[in-house]
Amino acid sequence: MSLVRIVSKAALAAVALVAVAATVPAQAQNATEIQLSYKDKKFDPAEISAPANTPIVIKLKNLDAKAMEFESKTLKVEKVVAGSSDATINVRAQKPGRYEFFDEYNEKVARGALVVK
């Protein structure tokens, strides 16, 4: 393989990498940010909403001393959040619908929903 071909392939790969990296902040800027807290095995608010076809960023504050695990099978996300700490949960753009979420450690009582319109 000639040196020109190697350099050309490397340059093409670098350009592709820069193009992908440039789109990430643009997508994050278009995301809907939602504040959510968790205390005493309850989400507050228990129902959150977001526009359809837009990425969603859930800023979750675990106000309990114990860890919890935010999980949603329909949104395909799960994240353990240590006690007395914050977490960011990135959710892909969704079609209109109701998406249930829960604390896996307290699944029967700690439940909520994301309504996408």
Look at residue 34 in the predicted model and tell me its pLDDT.
98
Q: What is the pTM of this model?
A: 0.75
Pinpoint the alpha helices (H) of 2-116.
3-29
Task: Please state whether 41 falls in left (phi above 0), alpha (psi between -120 and 50) or beta.
Answer: left
Q: State which amino acid sits at residue 6.
A: I
Q: Which residues pair with 61 in a beta bridge?
A: 37, 86
Structurally, at CATH architecture level, domain 32-116 sits in Sandwich (2.60)
pLDDT for residue 68:
98
CA 32 – CA 114 distance, rounded (Å) = 12
pLDDT of residue 8: 57
Output the pLDDT for position 11: 52
97-110 confidence digits (pLDDT tens): 999 999 999 999 99
What are the mean pLDDT values of the chain's consecutive 10-residue runs (117 residues total)? Answer: 57 49 53 98 98 98 98 97 98 98 96 98
* Closest to 63 measured CA to CA, from 89, 87, 38, 34: 38
Q: pLDDT value at position 1?
A: 60
List, in sequence order, every residue forming a beta bridge with 58; answer none if it has no partner: 34, 89
Query: Both tokens of residue 10?
Result: 């490397």
* pLDDT for residue 5: 58
Residue 25: per-residue pLDDT: 46
